[in-house]
Amino acid sequence: MSTASPTLVVDALRIVGVPSMASIIDQLTLEVHPGEILGVVGESGSGKTTLGLSLLNYCKEGTKVDGGSVSIHDHDLAALNWRQVRELRGRTVAYIPQSPASALNPALRVGTQLRECLPGDPAAVLGRVREVLREVALPDDDEFLSRYPHQLSGGQQQRVAIAMAFTARPALIVMDEPTTGLDVSTQEHVLHTVREMCKTYDCAAVYISHDMAVVAELADRIAVMYSGRIVEIGRTADVLDHPSHPYTSRLLLAVPDLDAVRPMVGIPGNAPSPMARPQGCAFAPRCPIADSGCKVSPPEATDVGEGHSVRCFKAGTPLPPAHARPQRQRSVRTDGDKPVIDISGLKAGYGKFTVLEDINLSVYSGDCVALLGESGSGKTTLSRCIAGLHHNFTGGLELSGEPLATSSFKRTREQRRRVQYIFQNPYESLNPRRTVEELILQPVLAVRGKVKNSRDIVATALERASLRPDHARRYPDQLSGGERQRVAIARALATEPEVLICDEITSALDVSVQSSLVDLLRGLQAEMGLTLLFITHNIALVRNIAQQVAVLERGRIVEFGDVADIFDNPQHDYTRSLMSATPNFQLPSQVYAAEPNGVAL
């Protein structure tokens, strides 16, 4: 890390909601030096994205800065007018959003959007654009530059957004979940690019993420946020090897383990609303070691090591064991069992372009089958064929022995109820003009008609997806990215489906909610025989939820079998390459200890 003066200085920042004046960010102070990467982690709703946007002097609608300051290279952003701030954005400070599909202008070509922040000679500008595309593993030819965003895959859109941010070589770059839409191979390349560019150009970075494994690999320091405050901050090794705050410890236990040595354990309860924070420590209602003294006043930051501080009255106190549902890593069935989903000789494409070819796959009741592969391998196309959302395919497709029509419009109500789909991007799958309650009830009414117990259905669905009852009255734009994804999950569960297709449903979720949902899905598998088709880039998560895994490469299944067999002894070179590119977060022995019926810190 550079010894020069800090690039970014945030001093006692306070951001409030309007008109409630409830604190969303409260008394937040931090510094980031040139070439340093600060990882910001925490659950959805903890204020991470609000903090990231404030570093560009931007507040979401209904919020405002109510105190403190944000300075970049000694420029106090609050003292600048809108024109000066606009000049600063892109050149001095750049932002990579969580959802590239909504960040890229659909009416402008890729080349046009990449050139926007670069003044000067057109030939030099074009040269820089081609260079930055190569740095994020994208083609730099004229054909690619002439494409529109809708002509790119989700992973390509994400890489274009990353390239746009780095184009002008800014002093500070704010990254809000920039690798959520990327497969592990591309993610590995992009993270290497981010690290090298920050080092080469002395660019400071704030990396906001739910993925603790990525943050552990990339960040120099980690700031843990909870309920609008930084509860622990320090060097990466110090925070991960010796977590002092109970919240940090429980977050680490929620991270999926690639080797499946320990189970994922979520954090019980929900983070408090900004308008209903407890008087004392905000984490006290969920903390297993809190006492009456923790509920009197918020703890102040105290040093527990060099550059390592924590807000906790009981810093470093060991936690009691946490229990998790045991994981089943093999498919269990008898000879007479018939598959719920049976696919034979499936071939699918778009127009004359073939995406899937010779797909044979059987999914049995109560099992979870994971689909793995890089972007463009055909995972989503296969899942959409099963759901009836992509009808340009041939071959056999059966649901419990009944042939399924290629289009969902030609299927019966009961068939549509039995197979539900959760989309990857909640920003696009939720109608912004409907409340959460209306969104959850919409598929129920479509497959069942009128229902008498609508409020009970909504309440149960929200509880299953770890959402508070008051979320029912909100609109999607009043929710964080993780909360939107949980609404999409609640909507799919409301119809009591038999087959649930999950297309990257955890990419926008924090590790605690991800762990809770994995435990929920395991419970649904055991209690009602729910069958899952789980599409994900998170290979470590597959080890913790699936019984079988199908590895797709260029539209073909190159390896299929029980999770335990595939992960312990992968046979195909492509499978081995995916696993070697996956970040694997390991809790050190002094932090994690096995218990007979649980895990303890």
Is 308 among the domain residues?
Answer: no
User: Is pLDDT above 90 for 533?
Assistant: yes
Asked if the structure places residue 346 within a domain, the reply is yes
Picking from 372, 348, 369, the residue whose alpha carbon sits closest to that of residue 358 is: 348
pLDDT at 562 exceeding the cut of 80: yes
- pLDDT for 483 equals 81
Residues 498 and 370 in one domain: yes
Q: Which residues neighbour 542 within 8 Å (Cβ) at sequence distance 6 or greater?
A: 370, 372, 534, 536, 549, 563, 567
Whether 347 and 237 map to the same domain: the answer is: no
- Take residue 230 and report the two structure tokens written for it: 């930084």
Q: Which pLDDT score, from 0 to 100, does residue 18 have?
A: 87
Q: Give residue 591's pLDDT.
A: 52
Residues 44 and 151 in one domain: yes
Asked whether residue 399 is assigned to any structural domain, the reply reads: yes
- pLDDT class of 596 with cuts at 50, 70, 90: very low
Chain-wide mean pLDDT for the chain? 87
On the question of pLDDT at 463 being above 90, the answer is no
The whole domain housing 35 covers 8-259
Whole-angstrom Cα distance, residue 333 to residue 335?
7
Mean pLDDT in residue range 407-414: 92
- For 317-343, the pLDDT digits (tens) are 888 877 666 667 777 777 778 899 999
- Average pLDDT estimate for 526-538: 84
Answer yes or no: is pLDDT of 153 > 80: no
Residue bearing the bigger pLDDT, 252 or 596: 252
Of 243, 259, 275, the last residue of a domain is 259
Structure tokens given for 395: 């071959």
% of residues, the chain, pLDDT over 90: 47
What does the alpha-carbon distance between residue 302 and residue 323 come to, in Å, rounded to a whole number? 30
Q: The tokens of 532 are what?
A: 């899952």
Number of independent structural domains in the chain: 2
> What's the average model confidence in pLDDT over 20-46?
91
For residue 264, being part of any structural domain is answered with: no
pLDDT, tens digit, for every residue of 467-480?
A: 888 899 999 988 87
Quick check: 599 pLDDT over 70? no
Rg (CA), the chain: 24
Instruction: Give yes or no: residues 248 and 395 share one domain.
Output: no
Task: Give me the mean pLDDT over the 449-471 stretch.
Answer: 87
Q: Please state the rounded mean pLDDT for residues 203-224.
A: 90
pLDDT higher than 80, residue 262: no
Task: Using the predicted structure, report yes or no on whether residue 180 has a pLDDT greater than 60.
Answer: yes
Cβ-proximal residues to 261 (8 Å cutoff; 6+ apart), any chain: none
Residue 598 has pLDDT above 60, yes or no: no
pLDDT digits (tens, 9 = 90+) for 339-396: 999 999 999 998 888 999 999 999 998 899 999 988 778 998 999 999 999 999 999 9
Structure confidence by residue, pLDDT tens digits, 188-208: 877 888 888 888 888 999 999
End residue of a domain, out of 259, 292, 317: 259
Residue 365 burial class via C-beta count within 10 angstroms: exposed 0-12, middle 13-18, buried 19 and up:
middle
Averaged pLDDT for residues 522-529: 76
**pLDDT score recorded for residue 500:** 92
Tell me, yes or no, whether 448 and 594 share the same domain: yes
Give the model's pLDDT for residue 110: 94
Give the pLDDT band (50/70/90) at residue 3.
Answer: low
| CATH number of the domain encompassing residue 591 | 3.40.50.300
pLDDT at residue 595 is higher than 60: no
Q: Torsion over CA of 390, 108, 114 and 83, rounded to 10 degrees?
A: -130
**DSSP structure string for 200-256:** HTT-EEEEE-S-HHHHHHH-SEEEEEETTEEEEEEEHHHHHHS--SHHHHHHHHTS-
C-beta of residue 118 within 8 angstroms of C-beta of residue 168: yes
Answer yes or no: do 235 and 347 share one domain.
no
| pLDDT at residue 54 tops 70 | yes
pLDDT score of 195: 87
Q: Does 126 lie in the same domain as 27?
A: yes
Q: Determine, yes or no, domain membership for 2.
A: no
Confidence check: pLDDT of 166 > 80 = yes
371 and 228 inside one domain: no
* Residues 348, 233 share a domain: no
Last residue of a domain, one of 218, 242, 259: 259
Residue 270 included in any domain = no
Same domain, 466 and 570: yes
Residues 236 and 384 in one domain: no
pLDDT at 201: 80
